[in-house]
Amino acid sequence: MLESADTELTAGSVSAAAAVEEPPDEVFEKRGMGVLAWIGIGWLSLVVLIAILAPVLPLKAPMVGDYLHPKAGLFSPGHLLGSDDSGRDVLSRVVWGARASLLIAVGSIAFGTLIGGFLGLVAGFKGGLTDTVLGAFFNIFLAFPQLVLALTLVAVLAPVKPSGGASSGEWGHRILVVILAVGIVSVPLLGRITRASAISWSQREFVMAARAQGATSRRVMLREVLPNVVPAMASIALLGVAIVLVLEGALAVFGVSIQEPNPSWGNMIYSQLSNLNSAPAVWIVPSVLIFLSVLALNYLGDVVRARFDVRESAL
């Protein structure tokens, strides 16, 4: 009788342990990204693909005006999305402008993620004096108004030339300067996010076990902590790209983004601010593209964060 009771108790303990070890089915059901996430991925893939293929697409020259059809409306003959005051094709300019806007957004966040992510990882993992020094560095940079700092860096590194127009070399230099300026601005924010995540993961049991087994600090940081910090970095990076797409428009308002006649989504909107009723397609089309791209990036950032939370809760 006692043996049967012990057997039942053991079986109950095993089943209880199995129930604790195996997360419920609802956890795995939440791992699906859903239709909206795939729509966002599809939209962003389309925008990136069109921007890459801009040189080979059958488009009008983005900087050459059709003086016979200025201020053409949507779906006008020869101008599917209309034309601006100088007759330049809006479709061509938004496609070529996507190259500049995406390069700035992705390049600056990639720069900020590499530098800020590395510094945040080191600060969160090392702790002590290293964390104090790097934390103070992040706080000092975050104390500066971000837009003012970006404007100052761009204005100093690449002052606006009054001549107007720019060669391909000057366009590339301008892109690099804006990427560097916005990337520097994003370093402390991305560093703070990575630092907080690294501090959390550095206290986990498997990290302690790796240290107890004699693994070097570098190996533990790169093999144990970094892979678990990456999802949080990816989530904030997607949100950062969305923010920079909007920030590029703000830089264009102050005349320190891509210079005319080279197009970007930001300077296309800025070009019509003085008279929104004149050729409204010039600012409406890039505004809609920015809105859809930012919406997709924000949603995908939430999806990455949610999937990361689900995985952590299932451990």
Of residues 308 and 182, more confidence is placed in 182
What mean pLDDT comes out for the span 261-266?
Answer: 88
**Residue 103 located in a structural domain:** yes
Instruction: Please tell me whether residue 83 adopts helix, strand or coil conformation.
Output: strand
Instruction: Compute the mean pLDDT over every residue in the chain, rounded to the nearest whole number.
Output: 81
**Residue 36 located in a structural domain:** no
Q: For residue 24, is pLDDT > 70?
A: no
| pLDDT tens digit sequence for 201-211 | 888 888 888 88
Tokens encoding 30: 């939440």
Using CA of residue 308, residue 309, residue 311, residue 315, what is the dihedral sign? positive
Using CA of residue 35, residue 42, residue 279, residue 266, what is the dihedral sign? positive
Domain count, the chain: 1
Residue 168: the pLDDT is 58
For residue 219, the enclosing domain spans: 98-315
What mean pLDDT comes out for the span 204-222?
Answer: 85
**Residue 13 located in a structural domain:** no
**Residue 43 located in a structural domain:** no
- Please tell me the least confidently modeled range out of 25-34, 100-109, 259-268, 292-301: 25-34
**Residue 153 located in a structural domain:** yes
Q: What does the chain come to in residues?
A: 315
**Residue 59 located in a structural domain:** no
Return d(Cα 50, Cα 122) in angstroms, integer: 38
Q: For residue 17, is pLDDT > 90?
A: no
Q: For residue 15, is pLDDT > 60?
A: no
CATH of the domain at 216: 1.10.3720.10
- The DSSP output letter for 220 is I
Label residue 153 by pLDDT band (50, 70, 90): confident
Return d(Cα 182, Cα 104) in angstroms, integer: 8
Return d(Cα 298, Cα 36) in angstroms, integer: 12
| pLDDT tens digit sequence for 59-91 | 888 888 778 778 887 878 878 888 888 888 899
Of residues 189 and 19, more confidence is placed in 189
Q: Residues near 123 by Cβ (< 8 Å), separated by ≥ 6?
A: 130, 131, 134, 135, 191, 195, 198
**Residue 88 located in a structural domain:** no
- Please tell me the least confidently modeled range out of 78-87, 189-198, 306-315: 306-315
**Residue 89 located in a structural domain:** no
